[in-house]
Amino acid sequence: MTKEKIWDVVVIGAGPAGYVAAIRCAQLGLKTVCVDEWLNHKGESSLGGTCLNVGCIPSKALLESSHLYQQAKSEFDQHGISTDSLDIDIKTMQSRKAQVVSDLTQGILSLFKANNVEMIAGRAKITASDSIEIFSRKTRKKFDELKTKNIIIATGSSPVRLQQAMLKDGYIVDSAGALELDKVPERLGIIGAGAIGLELGSVWSRLGSEVVLLEAMKDFLPMADKKLAALVKRSLSKQSLDIRLNSRLVSAKIKNKKVQIVYEDTGRKKLGEKKETFDKLIIAVGRKPNSDRVFGDELGIEKDERCFILVDENCLTSVPNIYAIGDVVRGPMLAHKGSEEGVMVAELIAGKQAAVNYDLIPSVIYTHPEMAWAGKTEDECQSAGIKVKVGSFPFLASGRARAMAETEGLVKIIADATTDRVIGVHIFSVQASELIAQAVLMMDMQATAEDIALTMFAHPTLSEAMHEAALSVHGQAIHIKN
Ligand code: NAI
């Protein structure tokens, strides 16, 4: 029993926010324990939260497999590679994914050991600002009680459920269920054309499903650059993803082993109800913070109307010494945002100075090509009254992109017209998820478009598009007409 000990920090949750916070706390010499309740489908404790178990990592594993299959099917022939008989074994694809997940979740356990972070598998409940009770997930019985100087809540988020289409018998599934399908559905419906809908839609469409995405809003990816969002939509439509905007789900029922849905076409002057039948339906309409059951109201930890735990810029809650980070607090629900908050809070608890730059959180959607952006969009600049100069460069003019036969997309750089500082970068291309890192770096270092223009980039690389886009801000691009 760990009863007598007083911990410096108890971290609740071992997702990318919590496990990173715990490791950094321990590195800074704080006596740290991390409590996590996640059980995998074998009923074993598994660290890494949603990201590693049923989110970022398994989806990227399936995106990789499905992309290779798609390439072999329709792109190899241009390289002179013939594949007479091509097949995909979904079971093998799924077990490779499970292995990737298992290696990485066990990797966190090794990191905990290496850094002297203690781990407790169980459900934590905060009973006072210095006390936490731990319950078994299986028996629900209390088996431990911890005393601590600081608490970090990193309990993450869960998929939003739709009353009109509750999860059912493997026919109506959430994102976790959609990663576990054991065969390719002939017709797949997806409610929500956000990041999850688009990524899962891409996976199953590449493997042969006829995919229809129903999106309630009238705009596609409204938080992204308008021009790039339009390019992504056009590209995905060419890849046979049927994206229907203004389409709100009304009802769903299972009949004859199919999912029958009714949805409303809100874009028409006269509201029209439409019907569709699918083999599977994925619900991907957002996520909600896991802020219930972690503490009682008597503790005084305040939440907003959407149940996010209220925190200040240091991620401190309304109770001294209780912090909250990651998906359970305001800001985008992104693993890297949670991790950075984890590092910041660890440093603050250790008495150091730390901050997160919330203006520079990169966003990526892992379609093919990928969409990635950081900083401001042109629309945001316009609303804020910031005068801008914009440069862009299409991958059609990139030698490397041509050699790769990946010429779709462009880089767009937005610079402040007065200071020339780069304030927004928007990319649609293969490896945009990698390219965006240099954009974040340049903006964090407060580089000007001229700084980037004066930097030497290796040739031939996709990164040269960033260089050319910066040159084009001042009408000096070499490989396009300015
Ligand atoms: P989302 O909020 O990005 O998209 C959900 C979409 O569903 C919205 O566009 C919404 O208008 C639509 N919707 C809601 N109710 C609807 C209805 N009744 N009928 C039709 N459409 C409806 O949420 P998503 O895709 O589920 O992702 C959840 C979170 O996970 C997000 O915060 C996202 O950023 C994060 N995530 C990030 C990824 C990445 O960075 N690549 C990948 C996957 C998830």
Cα–Cα distances in angstroms (integers) from residue 257 to residues 168, 169, 170, 185, 207, in the given order: 11, 10, 10, 12, 21
The per-residue pLDDT of the chain, averaged, comes to: 97
Nearest to 33 by CA among 13, 16, 49: 13
Query: Per the domain annotation, does 1 fall within a domain?
Result: no
**Structural domain count, the chain:** 3
State the number of CA atoms in the 13 A half-sphere of 94 facing the CB: 15
Q: Is residue 333, in this structure, part of any structural domain at all?
A: yes
Q: Is residue 198 within 6 Å of ligand 1 at its C-beta? A: no
Short-list 338, 332, 335, CA closest to 315: 338
Whether residue 201 is contained in a domain is answered as yes
Instruction: From the CA of 365, give the closest atom in ligand 1.
Output: 41
Which atom of ligand 1 approaches the CA of 366 most closely?
41
Q: Which residue CA neighbors atom 9 of ligand 1 most closely?
A: 194
With a 6 Å cutoff on the Cβ, whether 195 touches ligand 1 is yes
Instruction: Take atom 43 of ligand 1 and give the residue whose Cα is closest.
Output: 196
Alpha-carbon distance of 187 to 208, in angstroms, equals 9
Instruction: Tell me what pLDDT residue 269 has.
Output: 66
Q: Please indicate, yes or no, whether residues 278 and 313 belong to a single structural domain of this protein.
A: no
* 175, 153: one domain: no
Residue 482 lies inside a defined structural domain of this protein: no
Residues 338 and 214 in one domain: no
User: Are the C-beta atoms of 36 and 123 separated by less than 8 Å?
Assistant: no
Query: What is d(CA 259, CA 189) in angstroms, rounded to the nearest whole number?
Result: 9
Closest Cα to atom 24 of ligand 1: 286
Counting residues of the chain whose pLDDT is more than 70, the rounded percentage is 99
Q: Are residues 123 and 12 in the same domain?
A: yes
Residue ranges in the chain modelled with pLDDT below 50: 2-3
Exposure b/e, 350-374, CB count within 10 A at least 16 = b: beeebebeeeebbbbbbbbbbbbbb
Co-location of 298 and 392 in the same domain:
no
Is the CB of residue 197 below 6 angstroms from any atom belonging to ligand 1? yes
pLDDT at 270: 67
Q: How far is the CA of 233 from the centre of ligand 1 (A)?
A: 16
Is residue 168 one of the residues assigned to a domain?
Answer: yes
Domain shared by 205 and 313, yes or no: no
**Ligand 1 centroid – CA 293 distance (Å):** 24
Q: Whose CA is nearest to atom 40 of ligand 1?
A: 364
Instruction: State the Cα–Cα distance between residues 273 and 332, nearest whole angstrom.
Output: 33
Same domain, 63 and 126: yes
Atom of ligand 1 nearest to the CA of 198: 25
CATH number assigned to the domain comprising residue 400: 3.30.390.30
370 C-beta closer than 6 A to ligand 1: no
- 441-450 pLDDT, tens digit per residue, is 999 999 999 9
Ligand 1 pocket, 262 CB below 6 A? no
User: Is the beta carbon of 391 within 6 A of some atom in ligand 1?
Assistant: no
Question: What is the model's pLDDT at position 272?
Answer: 81
Answer yes or no: do 19 and 103 share one domain.
yes
CATH classification at residue 298: 3.50.50.60
**Residues 231, 108 within the same domain:** no
Domain extent for 432:
369-473
Residue nearest to atom 28 of ligand 1 (CA): 286
What are the distances in angstroms from CA 378 to CA 183, 224, 228?
43, 10, 11
So what's the pLDDT on residue 266? 87
| CB neighbours of residue 234 within 10 Å | 12
Q: How far is CA 261 from CA 179, 233, 451, in A?
A: 22, 24, 54
Token readout for 420 is: 């020339």
Cβ(463)–Cβ(263) below 8 Å: no
Last residue within a domain, chosen from 285, 309, 329: 285
Query: Which one, of 22, 13, 24, 12, lies nearest residue 52 by Cα?
Result: 13
Question: Which ligand 1 atom is at minimum distance from the Cα of 247?
Answer: 20
Residue of 79, 426, 459, 467 with catalytic role: 459
What residues pair up with 151 in beta bridges, in sequence order? 10, 322
7 lines ligand 1 (CB under 6 A): no
Domain-ending residue, one of 251, 285, 319: 285
* Model pLDDT for residues 228-278, shown as the tens digit of each residue: 999 999 999 999 999 999 999 999 999 999 999 999 998 776 678 999 999
pLDDT of residue 324: 98
Query: pTM of this prediction?
Result: 0.96
Residue 15 maps to a domain:
yes
Residue-wise DSSP of 256-286 = TTEEEEEEEETTSSS-EEEEEEESEEEE-S-
Nearest atom in ligand 1 to 192's CA: 7
Query: Does 440 map to a domain?
Result: yes
Residues 402 and 329 in one domain: no
Task: Point out the ligand 1 atom lying closest to the alpha carbon of residue 333.
Answer: 32
Does any domain span residue 394? yes
Residue whose CA is at the smallest distance from ligand 1 atom 12:
192
Ligand 1 near 366 CB (within 6 A): yes
Q: Are residues 258 and 272 in the same domain?
A: yes
Q: Euclidean distance between the first and final Cα of the chain, in Å?
A: 70
Pocket probe mutation, ligand 1, options 196, 278, 339, max atoms within 8 Å of Cβ: 196
By the 10 Å C-beta count (0-12 exposed, 13-18 middle, 19+ buried), 313 is classed as exposed
Question: Rounded CA gap, 480 and 482, in Å?
Answer: 6
Say if residues 322 and 306 touch (Cβ distance below 8 Å): no
Give yes or no: 459 in active site: yes
pLDDT, tens only, 142-189:
999 999 999 999 999 999 999 999 998 899 999 999 999 999 999 999
Q: How far is the CA of 54 from the centre of ligand 1 (A)?
A: 15
Q: Regarding beta strands 210-214 and 187-191, do their DSSP bridges make them parallel or antiparallel, or are they unpaired?
A: parallel
- Residue ending a domain, choose from 285, 310, 330: 285
d(CA 347, CA 9): 12
User: Are 293 and 255 in a shared domain?
Assistant: no
With H, G, I as helix, E, B as strand and everything else as coil, classify residue 440: helix
Binding site membership of 176 for ligand 1 (Cβ less than 6 Å): no
Q: How far is the CA of 198 from the centre of ligand 1 (A)?
A: 9
